[in-house]
Amino acid sequence: MSCEKGDGDPMEDPLFILESGEVYRNPTEVKMSQIVMPCHANHCGELSVGQLLKWMDSTACLSAERHAGSPCITASVDDIHFEHTIGVGQVVNIKAKVNRAFTSSMEVGITVSCEDLFSSCQWNVCNAFATFVARRTEEGKVQLKQVIPRTQTEQMEYSIAAERRRMRLTHAEIITDLLSSNTAQLGECQEYQGAVSAERTRVESVELVLPPHANHQVSTFGGQIMAWMENVATIAACRLCNAHPTLRTIDMFHFRGPSHIGDRLVLKAIVNNAFKHSMEVGVCAEAYQGAGALRHINSAFMTFEVLDKDRKPRTLPRIRPEPVDGKRRYQEAIARKKIRLDRKYIISCKQTEVPLSVPWDISNQMYLSYNNVSALKIMAARSNWMLSSEKNKVSLYTLEENQILCFKVETHVTVPAEQAFHLLSDLRRRHEWDRHYQQCDVIIQADEDDTIYRVATPCVSKGGKGQDFILLASRRKPCDSRDPYLIALRSVTLPTHPATEDYTRGEVLCAGFSIWEESNAVSKCIHLIL
């Protein structure tokens, strides 16, 4: 882990000076700083991830409640990847702020960094996005006020929050479909000599929910439930490797229902599969009161590693699954690992680190679509565009960043925004108004919002070859009146459509249209090209 003095100062001044000269601080931002004491740590002297999750949940909840003005509960948490561990004596700094509010739910962005007080080093530990729901009041359902982004960073997060929400709403259904299709192709489980029985790793523990475990609404803290789940998952991982494991990732999960004081919370964990350097542990939390039936509260999948003395991942023993359910979990873990790697590869990378053309298939469609739209939104939200020329009410802007030149063309048209959206999103009609589009064919109609086209363009020099492109077009209608219509384009690769001798295969990293409704008959169209 590299450490640069003063780099990424976690206690940086949260005040911004806006272009108007106004001093601004995000009204929803909440900070928490905690020094890690031995009571917060495991036997290796590292901060328990369960304790960190409790602090993260508390900070995010306070931010959500500051915006909502009413009690809030944790609904879901997106994937969390822990980059580093935190030692006793170091300081954990947590910042949370509301990125965007919808009808009764809101996305809260959480940043966790670590600070060494003796060396003045700071480093990032993890970033997370949690969804909180405002609870009903005596007057009825809460209608949240809108977040007003004031800085470029806030505008980016506000815009992309709508895309993250879209992915959350379809995540469970898509994952189920992908698991069904992927596990069917895996065949029988492999047999390994000396493999550890999965049943040996099974853990079951019960917790009585007491007042200290509850929030001011008498509901069990979401962070407390996550901490208990992390505890049993760690025990299951220890039973496989006979060593202390390090939690690396927690997959996106949703709270299925509330838990309250007096509940008995039953926590179950088992190692689903072990790979060369990592293992997946499945965890389930259920609640009951008295002789009542079990209520499903939450399920999660956690990935652990075991580090050697040089902090490198050790090779792990293999798992021998039990018949039926054990084999199903074993195979689903393989499929989830592929999905997890696709998601991390496409979503977690910075835009400049993603290759020009990423192979498209059904398993990564959701993440490529997310990346496609998010890249366009990030580019559109840049505030440092320079006006290069203006003619016939058409403005051309340029932006050079990291040796990449971007273009933005802005104009007003006397066409309703929705009509302009439908005309521009059908690339098959683009040759009618764009002479650079010679031919366009639909290759795959993935769904209502995503289409893959092959586009051919004419030769620009005499005797040369034309270019062709394999483009993913992702369409988005506005989430509310503060959003534009969007058409995002980027190159992908398909094994069924390799490059040919007749055309030079071109690449598009990011391009598309942002269409704003100015009135019932006038739209502002912005064409962006990276």
- H, E, C per residue of 427-484: HHHHHHCCCCCCEEEEEEECCCCEEEEEEEECCCCCCCCEEEEEEEEEEECCCCCCCC
pLDDT score recorded for residue 9: 47
Q: Give the span between the Cα atoms of 103 and 281, in whole angstroms.
A: 35
Write the CB contacts of 176 (distance below 8 Å, at least 6 apart in sequence): none
* % of residues, the chain, pLDDT over 70: 90
Closest CA to 26 of 199, 196, 191, 158: 158
Structural domains in the chain, sorted by start: 1-152 (3.10.129.10), 193-348 (3.10.129.10), 366-529 (3.30.530.20)
Residue 418 has pLDDT above 90, yes or no: yes
Q: For residues 67 and 129, is the Cβ–Cβ distance under 8 A?
A: no
Closest CA to 259 of 223, 308, 231: 223
Reported confidence tier of residue 348, pLDDT bands at 50, 70, 90: low
The whole-model pTM stands at 0.86
Reading the block at residue 199, the tokens are 């049943």
Q: What is the dihedral of CA 321, 327, 328, 330, to 10 degrees?
A: 50
Q: Give the span between the Cα atoms of 179 and 168, in whole angstroms.
A: 17
pLDDT score recorded for residue 300: 93
In one letter, which amino acid is 160? Answer: I
Q: Give the span between the Cα atoms of 94 and 234, in whole angstroms.
A: 23
Q: Which helix (H) or strand (E) holds 404?
A: strand 404-413
Pairing label, strands 358-359, 485-493: parallel
Residue 474 has pLDDT above 50, yes or no: yes
Write the CB contacts of 66 (distance below 8 Å, at least 6 apart in sequence): 27, 28, 30, 98
Residue 10 has pLDDT above 50, yes or no: no
Reported confidence tier of residue 382, pLDDT bands at 50, 70, 90: confident
pLDDT digits (tens, 9 = 90+) for 31-85: 999 999 999 998 889 999 999 999 999 999 999 999 999 889 999 999 999 999 9
Q: For residues 167 and 372, is the Cβ–Cβ distance under 8 A?
A: no
pLDDT score recorded for residue 527: 92
Strand partners for 523: 413, 517
In one letter, which amino acid is 88? Answer: V
Q: Give the span between the Cα atoms of 483 and 161, in whole angstroms.
A: 11
Write the CB contacts of 466 (distance below 8 Å, at least 6 apart in sequence): 438, 456, 457, 458, 459, 502, 503, 504
Average pLDDT value for the chain: 87
Strand partners for 196: 319
Does residue 358 or residue 45 have the better pLDDT?
45
Q: For residues 76 and 42, is the Cβ–Cβ distance under 8 A?
A: no
Pairing label, strands 80-81, 485-493: unpaired
pLDDT digits (tens, 9 = 90+) for 146-199: 999 988 889 999 999 999 998 888 777 777 776 676 655 555 566 666 789 999
> CB-based burial of residue 414 (10 Å sphere; 0-12 exposed, 13-18 middle, 19+ buried)?
exposed
Least confident of 220-234, 353-367, 444-458: 353-367
Q: For residues 490 and 372, is the Cβ–Cβ distance under 8 A?
A: yes
CA terminus-to-terminus distance, the chain: 33
Beta strands in 307-392 (DSSP E): 319-320, 358-359, 386-391
pLDDT score recorded for residue 349: 52
Reading the block at residue 173, the tokens are 């259904």
pLDDT score recorded for residue 139: 64
Q: How many Cα atoms occupy the beta-carbon half-sphere of 27 within 13 Å?
A: 12
Does residue 116 or residue 402 have the better pLDDT?
116
Number of other residues whose CB lies within 10 A of the CB of residue 393: 9
Strand partners for 387: 397
Residue 266 has pLDDT above 60, yes or no: yes
Residue 288 has pLDDT above 90, yes or no: yes
Residue 476 has pLDDT above 70, yes or no: yes
Tell me which DSSP letter residue 416 carries. -
Reading the block at residue 209, the tokens are 């929910």
pLDDT score recorded for residue 8: 47
* % of residues, the chain, pLDDT over 90: 56
Q: Give the span between the Cα atoms of 523 and 506, in whole angstroms.
A: 31
Residue 290 has pLDDT above 70, yes or no: yes
pLDDT score recorded for residue 3: 61
Q: For residues 281 and 237, is the Cβ–Cβ distance under 8 A?
A: yes
> CB-based burial of residue 461 (10 Å sphere; 0-12 exposed, 13-18 middle, 19+ buried)?
exposed
Residue 344 has pLDDT above 60, yes or no: yes
Strand, helix or coil for residue 174? helix
In one letter, which amino acid is 161? Answer: A
In one letter, which amino acid is 449? Answer: D
pLDDT score recorded for residue 11: 45
Tell me which DSSP letter residue 213 carries. G
